[in-house]
Amino acid sequence: MKGISKLADFFLKSMEIIFITLAILVAYFDLADFNFAMNNTRTLRETRLIGEALMSCKDLTVLSSDGYPIKALFDKSSLISYSNHDIPDCITYPKRIRMDIESIGVSIGDAPDDAAYVEFPVAIKENAGKVTPTTMKVYVV
């Protein structure tokens, strides 16, 4: 009987070590995943805020009769004049920003292509008065 109790004691001790090791590993991976999620959430929040600011930028949007920008209604000629240049002066931010409107081939800013982006529904007003719905991609690095 004494041999069985030593074997059971060894088995219980080894199981205890295995469970403690697994608990430490799970806690480590859980914390690492939480840290990644927090960084990703911060980047998405920044990108959304910059996108909202770009949709209200006086240099890019159509102005109403009282001089205020109409949110998310871009002037095509203004977008084309800023194409392949830096972000207009109405937006100042320490990180690199880029906005793309692929339907008219406009890219403003200098953020890299592999950066995360957020899409926004916008409309483009042409000189003839025609309004076309499209999407705008905003990158912040």
pLDDT tens over the chain, length 141 residues: 565 688 888 888 999 999 999 999 888 887 777 766 666 777 888 889 999 999 998 888 998 889 888 998 999 988 888 887 888 888 888 888 899 998 888 989 888 888 888 999 999 998 888 999 999 999 988
User: Between β-strands 117-125 and 97-101, what pairing exists: parallel, antiparallel or unpaired?
Assistant: unpaired
pTM of the model: 0.68
d(CA 137, CA 37): 22
Q: Which whole-number Å values give the CA distances from 103 to 48, 76, 106, in the listed order? A: 21, 11, 8
Longest dimension (CA), the chain: 97
Where along the chain do its domains lie?
2-140
Q: What angle do CA 62, 52, 61 make, to 5 degrees?
A: 10
For residue 41, which of 116, 131, 120 has the smallest C-alpha distance?
116
Amino acid at 128: A
d(CA 31, CA 25): 10
For residue 121, which of 141, 96, 103, 140 has the smallest C-alpha distance?
103
User: Between β-strands 131-140 and 97-101, what pairing exists: parallel, antiparallel or unpaired?
Assistant: antiparallel
